[in-house]
Structure 1
Amino acid sequence: MAHFDLPPEQLQSYRAAAPAPADFDAFWAQTLAEARRFDLNATFTPVRTPFVTVDVFDVTFAGWAGQPVKGWLTLPRARTGRLPCVTEFIGYGGGRGLAGDHLGYASMGYAHLLMDTRGQGSGWRQGDTPDDAPGAGPQVPGFMTRGIQSRDTYYYRRVFTDAVRAVEAARAHPAVDGARVAVAGVSQGGGVALAAAGLCDVQLCLPDVPFLCHFDRAARLVDSFPYAEITAYLKTHRGRAADVFGVLAYFDGVHFAARAQASALFSVGLMDEVCPPSTVYAAFNAYAGPREMRVYEFNRHEGGENVQALERAAFLARHWPS
């Protein structure tokens, strides 16, 4: 797809018009307080792998409503002292995979906690965390309209709560320097990273081609999935658009970005028909902390891929010099 969104000069200043709901902060404070009534109970079980330069641990911690969430913690084997940690979230439909699937950050000398995404992990990589969800109503297949009838039952309330608890689980490991924690992810993972950065104290945020931003524009601008799950739902549930977008406002990456203070490195593909450039820039321009953008003019949702991986590595090294 050629450039279809706003011209680059307009993207650089584009902002979403709608403010956050008046009780946005109160809603999330209550949500996290409810989750923290349950003991975090983070466990790290060593896993045997064929890799000789890293140690891998099977992670379990209590997420939303105390429900167990899985993950992997990967550490460089040759380590001295406590390490900065990258807490990473996964793209739509994927799961945590197998022990040893994720070696990049540990190979750079960082601790790396990868959070499994509840209910996903069957689309392109396996996962191990079910979504035990009360109050579920009709939905389009996928996750975008799961529990959309209410902010209290919406799927991403549980995922974003899990993400905050994942940061807390990372800090619970004795090898991790709790003062140096980053959140990161691509696509859905980038949207979850923005939510985590807006909800808890982290030092760095690395959202690549982030999903879950500026829902009302994305759903009206592109007909690609996963945003098309929302439009498919509204095609059937006629007259519910105001209610649906009212719920989604509590989960919009733009509003989390406006509350995030961590230094951030964003990326965008200007031909991205999955996460339109204007939705990424809406989050970027709302971001409250120091921020940088890497632009890939001729790329779609793949964004910068391995080139952006090197950008992330340089960004981390600049902020966390060895």
Structure 2
Amino acid sequence: MTHSTVTDGGRSARDFAHDFPFDPSYGLGLDELLRVPAPEAAPTDFDAFWRSRHEAARAVDPKPEVGRLVEVRDGVRVHEVSYASVGGVRLGGWLVLPAEGEAEHGFVIGHGYGGRDQVGPDVPLPMPRSAAILPCVRGMADRGLLPGVPSLAAEHVLHGIAARDTYVIGECVADLWCAASALLELVPGLDGPQPRLGYLGESFGGGLGALALPWDERFAAGRLTVPTFGNHPLRLTLECVGSGAAVRRYHAEHPEVVDVLGYFDAATAAARLSKPVLVAAALFDPSVPPPGQFAVYNALAGERELKVLEAGHFEYEGTRTERAGLDAATADFFARMLT
């Protein structure tokens, strides 16, 4: 197992000026963050639960339909696309194809909470001669909206949370698996004995990716940026904003929810993830506490690489430069893992 990480272990978060009533670095430097574990105990049927969910998703005929051409830029064509997922729903998103020639690699690209209304900064892709599907998982704008599923992050993250089989997060993970099925049907040259799919996800999409990747052999590698859902027992003790705060409030009134959350812990899943993974984790983050992000990285069972970010979910001077560095690291990572 290869571990590639930074060497400046004493590094701490910059003293950002902010208005949060708590410290988004939680008083931890890199040395401490690199010691945050996954939860001590996982549900005894954690693996069986997720393998069953994956089997059900793989049984779905995605019936992808390519829609109108949206734009041509950066050497690719961007189309609208829709596909079927578990529960008999159809979801939308975008399909990215090379403007010329055949695709040699493919990507499933998850999104943060709030969804996406365009392909945005996910294009250009990490590698040339690639195809990608950018799905909107159920409930998320613009093209994943469904009756009865809240679209606001603070409500969506609680939808069906009373039981593991109804929790929307499990269905969102299945939406990613079905998106991969749709991409492979639309670009059949990607489907072969050697996996040529990569996954990219940020925040909400990072947490979903950690839950999705261990069980799906079609993916060769993934990048998880500021991943959420890491070490729920610890996360529930850390003040934050956004969807995590909604889960903390719910837990205060329904402490038994920890039993459900145990099945949706990204760090627990990471301990089963043997594929190569690049994690971009932040030292300062008011929405996804850094200890949870690093718990995902620390638990990874396979080859892993770490890109330390100064901050996540927070704009500061240097954000663009740091993002460019992450993009370069991502391109290098996938060039090594998918070729």
Q: Tell whether 2:209 aligns with 1:188.
A: no
CA distance in 1, matches of 2:338, 2:287: 32
Q: CA deviation at 1:182?
A: 0.6
Q: Against the structure 1 CA distance between its residues 49 and 101, is the aligned structure 2 distance closer, same or farther, given a 3 Å change threshold?
A: farther
* Alignment counterpart, residue 217 of structure 1, candidates 225, 231, 234: 234
Q: CA deviation at 1:300?
A: 3.6
Question: Could you tell me which amino acid in structure 2 is paired with residue 299 of structure 1?
Answer: A
CA distance in 1, matches of 2:331, 2:153: 38
Q: Tell whether 2:162 aligns with 1:146.
A: no
Aligned length: 306
Counterpart position of 2:105: 84
* Alignment counterpart, residue 171 of structure 1, candidates 158, 167, 184: 184
Q: CA deviation at 1:141?
A: 4.5
Moved over 6 A (4+): none
* Alignment counterpart, residue 130 of structure 1, candidates 140, 145, 165: 145
Question: Could you tell me which amino acid in structure 2 is paired with residue 316 of structure 1?
Answer: F
* Alignment counterpart, residue 157 of structure 1, candidates 170, 173, 187: 170
State the secondary structure of the residue aligned to 1:114. strand
Q: Against the structure 1 CA distance between its residues 248 and 37, is the aligned structure 2 distance closer, same or farther, given a 3 Å change threshold?
A: same
* Alignment counterpart, residue 232 of structure 1, candidates 231, 249, 271: 249
Larger RCO: 1 or 2 (CA < 8 Å, sep 6+)? 2
Preserved CA contact (<8 Å) 1:184 1:205: yes
Structure 1: gaps (5+ residues): 122-126
What's the TM-score once normalised by structure 2's chain length? Answer: 0.82
Q: CA deviation at 1:294?
A: 0.8
State the secondary structure of the residue aligned to 1:29. helix
Counterpart position of 1:301: 313
Q: Kindly, what percent of the aligned residue pairs are identical?
A: 26
Question: Could you tell me which amino acid in structure 2 is paired with residue 120 of structure 1?
Answer: M
Q: Tell whether 2:97 aligns with 1:75.
A: yes
What's the TM-score once normalised by structure 1's chain length? Answer: 0.86
Counterpart position of 2:139: 119
Q: Against the structure 1 CA distance between its residues 313 and 37, is the aligned structure 2 distance closer, same or farther, given a 3 Å change threshold?
A: closer
Q: CA deviation at 1:172?
A: 1.6
State the secondary structure of the residue aligned to 2:233. helix
State the secondary structure of the residue aligned to 1:30. helix
Q: Tell whether 2:42 aligns with 1:20.
A: yes
Higher mean alpha-carbon deviation, 252-261 vs 9-18, is at 9-18
Higher mean alpha-carbon deviation, 49-58 vs 196-205, is at 49-58
Preserved CA contact (<8 Å) 1:269 1:301: no
CA distance in 1, matches of 2:75, 2:277: 29
Question: Could you tell me which amino acid in structure 1 is paired with residue 265 of structure 2?
Answer: D
